[in-house]
Amino acid sequence: MEFSHERAGLMKTEALRDIPQVQGLLEHPRAAALSNTYSREEVTSALRWLLDQVRVNLLNDQSCELPDFDSSEFLSEVERTIELRRKTNLRRVINATGIVIHTNLGRAPLASDAVEAIRSVATSYSNLEFDLSSAGRGSRYDHVETLICELTGAEGAVVVNNCAAAVFLCLAAFAREREVIASRGELIEIGGSFRMPDVIEQSGAILVEVGTTNKTRISDYADAVTSETTVFLKSHTSNYRIVGFSSVPSRAELVETGRQYGLTVIEDLGSGVLVDMSHLGLPDEPVVRDILGEGIDLVTFSGDKLLGGPQAGIIAGRLEAIAKLKLHPLLRAMRIDKLSLAALEATLRLYPPYDNPFTSIPVLRSLATPLEALRARAQHVASQCREIEGLHAEAIQSVAYAGGGSLPQQDLESFAVSLHSDGVSAQTLADRLRMAATPVIGRLASDRLLLDMRTIEENDIPEIVGALKQYQ
């Protein structure tokens, strides 16, 4: 035993010695060519890294022999490594899941005007906090406040970096060390560990839960008010719904009772829509203007959900309440950056007239695409896919979702291309598309890969077909 161990050790040492040296490989003509295409540093670094892999594999391997070493093949591997390293980590993917606002896939794609606004502000100086008319100091919030007020009927507005921060700021400003009353049925958790009770606690407010999971009456709120109460908080139960025997008080009741006790009534909408979307199969999503019209003091909503803009948290409502938020020290820690602000302003400017956002803002365009157009798109993609040998494709009816914590339960009729291959399983096909140069993310259903047409655009199609050709 001992003898063979020793012998094996010796053979390993010899095999390790046989691994080519970095210097030697760099002199190979192919390496010189690579250094011209890329840089010598990149080639050297990739070479070192791959040679280390060979060493590690050999040490872990049972056998003591170096596998045949082909320098040309090895240098091709060097090139693939450099190409991979050059790709950014965070990059474009094609969303073929049918979930329009997909938090894992970056939520709302921006309108081209918003992208142009980012480019312009990013590549230059800007009047971010400079008042051009007085040459004095300006406020970053001024660039969007009037627009938000015009679109929502609010008296004032302020914007922070996301909706979670917006809720947190409102509670810290109005309920720190005071009681906030909320319905038990609305104490939700939204993906990414945003739990309403935790947010309330972290803001320094004291949560008073009222009612039961399925029923809360206005008298439950009124009975819970003490001299310590400062806020009624209503939340959109974005990602779940209690059906059947359930009710919560109307906004009018909450507002009336809140007024009676001198409280601030806050509603966290999450998604927040600026225009009526009931004709798109989204009948229950309240419009911010209507909510404020019912007398709610402050509403909070995201910039990158159904609004279709950049990540941002918008707080709109009464002038004095907004003024208080603007003076709060936490605002500085949550402030929106200039690029998001530029994109938000440009997105908001696409809102009036009524029809415009449904063609110019990608999320709304996607929701508004007629079923017939999706059918035609699916048939078109399926026929291109069928030209690929071994691939079977058909256009089928499917169900898409608004997603993003905004009405995930709400189905949207859609069409998908259903794919299966002679050679590989649907799972493998999905894996390969996910690893393509532009990853394509579909969904699996009964051993088929479905590519939903609701969330793709015409210019994604050549890339999808290209990826299938290469990988199927």
Nearer to ligand PLP, 162 or 369 (CB): 162
Q: Does 203 bind ligand PLP (CB under 6 A)?
A: no
**DSSP for residue 177:** T
Applying CB under 6 A, which of residues 158, 163, 364, 391 lies at the interface with ligand PLP?
163
Phi, psi torsion values for 223, nearest 5 degrees: -65, -25
Name residues contacting ligand PLP, limited to 301-320 (CB under 6 A): 302, 313
Min dist CB 188 to ligand PLP, Å, is: 7
Q: Does 190 bind ligand PLP (CB under 6 A)?
A: yes
Q: Which stretch binds ligand PLP (CB under 6 A): 121-129, 144-152, 234-242, 335-343?
A: 234-242
CA dihedral 450, 452, 457, 462 (to 10 degrees): 10
Asked whether 46 and 78 are in contact (CB, 8 A), the reply is yes
**Quick one: tokens of 261?**
């006790």
Nearer to ligand PLP, 194 or 471 (CB): 194
Q: Does 258 bind ligand PLP (CB under 6 A)?
A: no
Q: Does 254 bind ligand PLP (CB under 6 A)?
A: no
Asked whether 167 and 153 are in contact (CB, 8 A), the reply is no
Nearer to ligand PLP, 407 or 426 (CB): 407
Q: Does 270 bind ligand PLP (CB under 6 A)?
A: yes
Q: Catalogue the long-range contacts made by 78-86 (C-beta closer than 8 Å, 24 or more residues apart).
A: 78/31, 78/34, 78/43, 78/46, 78/47, 78/50, 79/34, 81/46, 81/49, 81/50, 82/34, 82/38, 82/42, 82/43, 82/46, 85/42, 85/46, 86/38
Distance of CA 180 to the CA centre of its chain: 30
454 exposure class (CB count in 10 Å sphere: 0-12, 13-18, 19+): buried
Q: Does 405 bind ligand PLP (CB under 6 A)?
A: yes
Half-sphere exposure of 169 (CA within 13 A, CB side): 32
Applying CB under 6 A, which of residues 97, 152, 162, 264 lies at the interface with ligand PLP?
162
Q: How far is CA 223 from CA 187, 215, 235, in A?
A: 19, 15, 20
Nearer to ligand PLP, 194 or 415 (CB): 194
Which value, in Å, is the radius of gyration of the alpha carbons in the chain? 29
Min dist CB 161 to ligand PLP, Å, is: 8
Min dist CB 268 to ligand PLP, Å, is: 5
Nearer to ligand PLP, 307 or 346 (CB): 307
Min dist CB 218 to ligand PLP, Å, is: 21
Q: Does 164 bind ligand PLP (CB under 6 A)?
A: yes
Nearer to ligand PLP, 190 or 419 (CB): 190
Q: Does 407 bind ligand PLP (CB under 6 A)?
A: no
What's the rounded Cα separation, in Å, for the pair 310 and 341? Answer: 8
The residues binding ligand PLP (CB under 6 A) are: 162-164, 167, 190, 194, 235-236, 238, 268, 270-271, 302, 313, 405
